[in-house]
Amino acid sequence: MPSPWETKIAPVNGIKRIEPGDQLGEIIAAALKRSAFQLIDDDVVVVTQKVVSKSEGRLVRLDLVKPKKKAKELAAELGRDPKIVELALRESIRVVRKGHGVLITETRHGFVCANSGVDLSNVDEGYASLLPLNPDASASRIRKSLEKATAKRLAVIVTDTFGRPWREGQVDVAIGCSGIAPTQVLAGKKDPYGYLLKVTQPAVVDEIAAAAELVMKKLSLVPVAVVRGVKYSRDESGAKSLVRKRSLDLFR
């Protein structure tokens, strides 16, 4: 009897603490090799934003951040650290919401998230991490490096942990991807009852990001996972194509 498990998720253990300049693709390939884990064609390698940002030097020494007036006022209003607010504002194109100690911004990429993704967790004390400048390009670089090291056709997704309007808790979403189409377009197809689906378009890369988070370990340095068995299309439209156009967005 064939295995019933269509999709499987493995954490990648043995990734060292990442420093600026580190070549993530090579480091992931080496960690897989040490654990005798063989990638196969169409595996999806999921990498958390934090290690991508570190490898790209997207770290800021907090003692060098001088909050401007707007950041100081906003920080006072929200009861937050003015340096983090300063960085969040620098990384943003606008403030979407503020209140209850929370600052929701729109980043230059078009992502809407807390503090523009500026984060103090899993970095050296005294530093903050910023989102990669171009997470799709980051995913592409890691994919090419991993494909070279393994001689397999792969996809890479860069994830971050976002809160959601109306719902408690956070889920990981794709902020960058390469080698995989971000969505599966079912709109235009008929379901088994003959109904023509009109808008159905699962955000596959976000679903894989969420699935991978189930094996990631924020408390014990497991920032990479492999997801096998997902049927997906390949394209390079990137996670940027998931950002809804302002003209179509009811929530901007």
* Residues numbered 191-210 forming contacts with a copy of itself, rule: CB under 8 A: 191-195, 197, 199-204, 206-208, 210
Give yes or no for residue 63 binding a copy of itself (CB under 8 A).
no
Contact 123, 10 (CB under 8 A): no
Q: How far is the CB of 45 from a copy of itself (least distance, A)?
A: 13
How many residues sit in the footprint of a copy of itself (CB under 8 A)? 81
Side chain identity, residue 23: Q
Residues 9-38 that bind a copy of itself (CB under 8 A): 9-11, 35-37
Q: What distance in Å separates the CA atoms of residue 182 and residue 173, rounded to the nearest whole number? A: 11
Binding letters toward a copy of itself, positions 154-183, x by CB under 8 A:
-------x-xxxxxxxxxxx--------xx
Per-residue tokens: 250 = 């009811």
Q: What values do phi and psi take at 163, rounded to 5?
A: -75, 175
Three-state SS at 33: helix
According to CB under 8 A, which residues from 84 to 113 bind a copy of itself? 97-100, 102, 104, 110-112
* Cα 152 to Cα 40: distance, rounded to the nearest angstrom: 6
The single residue among 16, 68, 190, 234 that binds a copy of itself, judged by CB under 8 A, is 190
CB of 138 to a copy of itself, least distance (A): 19
Sheet of 102-107, strands arranged across: 92-99, 102-107, 112-114
